[in-house]
């Protein structure tokens, strides 16, 4: 079993126009912490994961997963 926690933080930040520093400030963490999470170099605590989900207004499962998220391009419904 992998210890990797996959996330959509970058995608959510882009969708909502939030910088890494703005997210970090809202969460009370250092902006580098957000970068480590985005790159999968660190896994969030349960508390931090829930706060990130709440910040974006989505369920925690929409932000974090133990399995890789499907690519956005694979979810467009377009057929080749």
Q: How confident is the model at residue 80 (pLDDT cuts 50, 70, 90)?
A: very low
Check whether 19 has a pLDDT greater than 80. yes
Alpha-carbon distance 3 to 41, whole Å? 11
Q: What percent of the chain has pLDDT over 90?
A: 76
> 4 vs 77, which has greater pLDDT?
4
Structure tokens at 54: 């709440």
Q: What is 6-62's CATH number?
A: 1.10.260.40
Average pLDDT, the chain: 90
Among 67, 40, 64, which residue's Cα sits nearest to residue 52?
Answer: 64
Q: Is the pTM of this model over 0.75?
A: yes
> 78 vs 51, which has greater pLDDT?
51
Q: Mean pLDDT over residues 35-49, rounded?
A: 95
- The residue extents of the domains of the chain are 6-62
């Amino acid at each position: 079993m992998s210890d990797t926690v996959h996330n959509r933080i970058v995608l959510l930040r882009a969708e909502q126009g939030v910088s890494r520093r703005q997210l970090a400030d809202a969460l009370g963490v250092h902006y580098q912490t957000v970068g480590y999470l985005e790159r999968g170099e660190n896994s969030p605590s349960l508390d931090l994961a829930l706060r990130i989900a709440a910040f974006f207004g989505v369920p925690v499962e929409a932000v974090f997963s133990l399995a890789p998220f499907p690519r956005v391009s694979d979810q467009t419904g377009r057929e080749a």
